[in-house]
Amino acid sequence: MDRARLCLAPVVLVGLGTLFISLRWLWGKRKARPPTLWRKVGEIAEIFVFPVKSLGPVRLDETECTIVGCKSGWLRDRSLLVVDDGGRFVTARKCPKMVQIIPSVSSSILSLSAPGMRAISVDLSKVEKKMKVVIWGDTVPSNDCGEEVAKWLSRYVLERDSGVRLVYYPLDASSRTVSRVNKAFHPFDTSDLGVFTDETSYALMNQASVDDLNTKLEEPVDPLRFRLNFTVTGARAYEEDTWDWVKIGSVTFRNVRPCSRCLMTTISPETGEKHPKVEPLETLKKYRQPEDPVMKSLVGTSPSFGIHLGLKSSNGIVRVGDPVYVG
């Protein structure tokens, strides 16, 4: 009898293990499906697209949502990048005045303007010279935008005739890989990656959370300081932290990870200068750092503010005034 029980024990353990794995798989499949019931939490107040990483924004009334981010014709979110002569990406973290360069896109023509500079244009449809660029460890295929705009950028950003270039990403799907840190966030996957974004193809900020932050600051900031695509009004402060599925109009997204904030938040879009007291980052660190030890091991002391989204439906249009639902 004892021998029979000993023989039976491994079978039971294997069975329980198989059941556990099956239940986890089924739970994952269930969680992967969008909900059927939705609750309205607010509406879209602002839409921002940043055609060139680290440069100024384009404010839109509506945008097409695609797998690699916001799009309106040739205007695509962070589909252009400033790189150094070695093909490594350059951002406003190192060169803060980059945020004062204002892009605009008309048909296939990208135009750039900046204080003290004559505007310059480049036809993206004629940009064909291939080159490889490196961003966050990924080597990404790109098209070089030419010598004229390279000299223009170098003069404004570096105050010399060379040193940086502008590149354009010509493909309709991301060439990036999921970073080690982002792999720890379920359900983050390759479909959530944008072109030259730091994390994902979409990000959302809650106006009420910004309002609450401003009660703690000497100098208030607005949502643009955080360079996210969508600003939602009507929700409670920090309610977005708990959202899982998010539907804007008829377009469905999923919250795939919090936005970890960095020195970019300290750069004024108006002056192109970093805040002398490193605000609002220092204030955010006082009450928005992760408490979970696993999360803290991933992001360190970076506070979270806003959420990263991945597109989980077919392409669709999001407009200012669209209702925002959560499931």
Domain boundaries, the chain: 39-326
Give 44-84 as a 3 state SS string. Answer: EEEEEECCECCCCCEEECEEEEECCEEEECCEECCCEEEEE
Dihedral over Cα of 242, 76, 168, 95: its sign: negative
| Distances in whole angstroms, Cα of residue 231 to Cα of each of 43, 108, 184, 188, 277 | 8, 27, 26, 22, 26
What CATH homologous superfamily does 39-326 map to? Answer: PK beta-barrel domain-like (2.40.33.20)
> Residue 24 pLDDT > 50, yes or no?
no
pLDDT of residue 6: 45
> Residue 7 pLDDT > 70, yes or no?
no
Tell me if 207 sits within 8 A of 45, measured CB to CB: yes
pLDDT tens sequence across 175-186:
888 877 777 776
Residue 103 is inside which H or E element, if any? strand 102-106
pLDDT tens sequence across 119-140:
999 999 999 999 999 999 899 9
pLDDT of residue 199: 87
Spatial CB neighbours of 21, under 8 Å, sequence gap ≥ 6: none
pLDDT of residue 101: 98
> Residue 217 pLDDT > 80, yes or no?
yes
Mean pLDDT, the chain, rounded, equals 89
> Residue 111 pLDDT > 50, yes or no?
yes
pTM: 0.87
Tell how strand 202-206 and strand 230-233 pair up. parallel
pLDDT tens sequence across 287-320:
999 888 877 888 888 999 999 999 999 999 999 9
Q: In what order do the strands lie in the sheet with 62-66?
A: 75-76, 69-72, 62-66, 316-319
Tell me if 35 sits within 8 A of 326, measured CB to CB: no
pLDDT tens sequence across 94-107:
999 999 999 999 99
Tokens of 1: 């009898």
Q: Which of 45, 75, 50, 73 has the alpha carbon at shortest distance from 61?
A: 45
pLDDT of residue 20: 38
pLDDT tens sequence across 156-198:
999 999 999 999 999 998 988 887 777 777 677 788 888 999 8
pLDDT of residue 31: 57
| Distances in whole angstroms, Cα of residue 120 to Cα of each of 73, 106, 124, 178 | 20, 13, 13, 35
> Residue 28 pLDDT > 70, yes or no?
no
pLDDT tens sequence across 246-259:
999 999 999 999 99
- Could you give the CA distance from residue 263 to residue 279 in angstroms, rounded to a whole number? 9
Dihedral over Cα of 277, 275, 223, 257: its sign: negative
Tell me the sheet residues that pair with 106: 109
